[in-house]
Structure formats: C-alpha cells, structure tokens
Structure 1
Amino acid sequence: MQRILVVGISGAGKSTMARSLSSRLAVPYHEMDALYFAGPGWAENERFAAQVTEITRSPAWVFDSFGYPEVRDLLWERADTIVWLDYPRRVIMPRILRRSLRRTLLRESIFNGNRETVAEWFRRDHPAWWAWSQHAARRADIQRRIDDPRFAPLRVFRFTTVHSSATWLSSVVTRRPR
C-alpha cells in the first residue's frame, strides 16, 4: 500500500481514516477539500487538477475523496489501494449532523479559512443534504469503478461497519518515516 484512495460518502470518516493510514504507513496525506478550496469564501483553486496530478506522480500518497470529477479517473488509475468506507445511512447521518453542527456553532475554520454557516444548511450542496440524497448513487458509482477492468488490479478494502474498519486499521503495520 503506497498510493491509497479512501472513498465513501460525506461523513463516513474518509479524512480520519486517511490521516491514520498516513501516520501508520509514513505516507503523505493530502486532504482533497483543502486542495480544492483555495481560500475564504469557498474560492476554488484554479490549479487544483494540476496539483493533484503532480502529487499522484509521487511514489506514495493518501487521498480522502471520491468527489471532484476532474481528477477522479486519475486517482483511480494511479492508486494501488482503495479503502471504501461503505457505511449505512444510519451511521453516516448522525456523524455528519454532529460534525456540521459543531463546525457551525463553534465557527470552526475548515479548508483554508472557510466556515460552515447556518444559511448553508439549507443548500442542496450542504454535506448533510448531500450525504442523505447521494448515499445510494455514491455507493453504486464506487462499486462500478471497483468492477471496472480499467482500474484493475486494485487492492480493495471495503468496510460496512465502523468496527470492521477500526479492526483492520489497527492491523496495519506502522512504518518508520524515511
């Protein structure tokens, strides 16, 4: 496992898993949302695709996303491992709601100075709305990619429970940084 893509719906814990794998494997972690949102006001990074392309040329990396169609194929083509957090809605929704509520109430700075606001909760692209409405479609898209011969041979770890992913993560041998 050198080039790892952690996938799943919003709220599954992709960033947490990716950070943990990065730490255990001594492989650089790249937070996709932080690369995409270049600054305050949710400004998009004009060099996003170029930056992701450059990072994926390196021999080892961990990314935490299935979104961003402009780099999706690239990540799947260059990854050697997919970690799929395929949790049911009953697991995802409380997580995403707690996270968004905390971020909103505490005005936490995320992704280069951006903050979740109360007004954003009513937008269709808010993470909670997205996780609810796109859950089935996202699962189907990921499964199609896993079955697609273009992306073989990929090592795929699919977890349908938090316990199974935590157990697997604890089995990943920690490497020393080079």
Structure 2
Amino acid sequence: MKKHALTTLLCLSVAGTASAAHVDDDMALALAAPRERIVDHSLSTSAVRARVEPATAFYGFWNNGSQALLDRAISPGFVDHTLPPGRPQGPSGPAAASKAFLAAVPDLKVTVTQQLVVGDRVVSHLDMAGHFTGTFQERQGHGETIHFFATDIVKVTNGRITDNWHLEDNLTLLKQLGVYR
C-alpha cells in the first residue's frame, strides 16, 4: 500500500461534502446510544450523566456531521492524542475528518456496541457501517459495503470531552474502499 494512501486515509482528507444531513440530531443521538453500558458504581448519577452526554453527542456527531453536536461534545481545548498526520489538532480535527468521511460514506452509522464509564473516562467500542457511494482519493464508490470497528477513550472534564485516544481498523476500511488489496 502506498504511504500516501494510508496518510490520506488517516487524515480522511477526501474531497466532497457530507450528505448525511438526512439524519437529524435527535436521530443521530438515538443511533449513538450504547447497546451496553458498564458504569463505575463509585460515580454519582450526575457524574455519569456529565460523562455520558458529551460522549453520546460526539458519536451522534459522527452519524451526521452536526456542528451543534460537536460543539456540545468537545471543549475548545480538545486534544487528539492519536492525531493522524495532516489532521488539524483541536475541534477542527474531528470536524474535518467527519466531513471527509461522510463525503465518502454518506450513510455512515456509528453504533456504540459497548461503553465503559470509569473515573473521568468513557471508553467506547464502535461499529461503523455504511456504503461507499461518495468519493475517496479520486475513487468513486459504487455502493461497496463499509463495515469496521474502532475504539475510543475520551476524557471528560466539566461536561466536555477534553482528550481523545482512538484506534480504527484502517486496514479493513482500506480494503473495502479498494485502496489496498
């Protein structure tokens, strides 16, 4: 695989505009509700809510690219600790990545299959699925199925995500996009 293809994937710097606007914010939030949540019982109900609400908004944002959901989710000082090459640091990083990814996979659905709430962290295992009907690196999708997994660890302070560590199954994604065989 070309280094450029991997860098482009990691940056998610494809051309085009997101067309997932058909998924409104309420639907995006509903899609982001975890199938299973395991909670540190030493946390109060309000502490759990303060951590879960921004995480839910963050994964809702990945479902539709809503700036309003992103603003609800992350702090202005947001730091991506696993920042891919070429992606901007701070809140503009997820915004750019989402716009680009939704341009390639407009019907992206992010499902939180399992979520752990411990201390000031929320760990989420994500099932990401859709169809490659947009563009990626001058490749036009033809409805290919996209299905891969990711895991996120987010730190929540004062009701906003301040830090993120993430790992995506990019090899599977690259194969499904036809970039790597």
TM-score of the superposed pair, with normalisation by structure 1 = 0.24
Relative to its length, the structure with more strand (as a share) is: 2
TM-score of the superposed pair, with normalisation by structure 2 = 0.23
Where relative contact order (Cα < 8 A, 6+ residues apart) is larger, the structure is 1
Relative to its length, the structure with more helix (as a share) is: 1
